[in-house]
Amino acid sequence: MNTQTGKITALYYRVAHKQTLGLYLDNQMQTLLCYANEQGLDKFALYADIGQNGLTLDRPALNTLNADIEAGHIEKLVIQDVSRLARGFILAETFIEWAQAQDVEIISIMDGELTSSLYADVIAQYRSLLKGGRRV
């Protein structure tokens, strides 16, 4: 927790298909929790969308995260990779630009710090192509 601002780090994960819950969800959560431990984060919140596809930004945990960002509670958002935010580059870019406008730093463990919308576009397009372009 940043003691100067009182803000926390958000750890967000999403899995689309309930039948893939077990191992994949556990792997995402472990990756995020290991990152938090390695970074010495003692105050963070987990946001999990289970059984939610990435073709929309209207998901229960993401909506809660959005509200917490708007309320000024979030300093950083950590995700495993950009595809956990959204499956399309336009949606990912929309969210990333909005969050950055709220002074939230976004860290993708697989991709590094997301500092520009162009970078986010390239990463999201690349991941979408690697994963078949349409998979949610």
Q: Is residue 109 part of a domain?
A: yes
96 HSE (CA, 13 A, CB side): 29
Indicate which CATH number applies to the domain containing 112.
3.40.50.1390
Say how many domains are in the chain: 1
Q: Give, in order, the Cα–Cα distances in Å from 8 to each of 34, 54, 71, 108.
A: 17, 24, 12, 17
This prediction has a pTM of 0.78
Q: Is residue 61 part of a domain?
A: yes
Q: Is residue 40 part of a domain?
A: yes
List the pLDDT tens digit at each of the 136 positions of the chain: 444 568 999 999 998 776 555 555 578 888 999 999 999 998 999 999 988 889 999 999 999 999 999 999 999 999 998 889 988 878 888 898 899 999 999 999 987 666 555 555 666 666 666 666 554 4
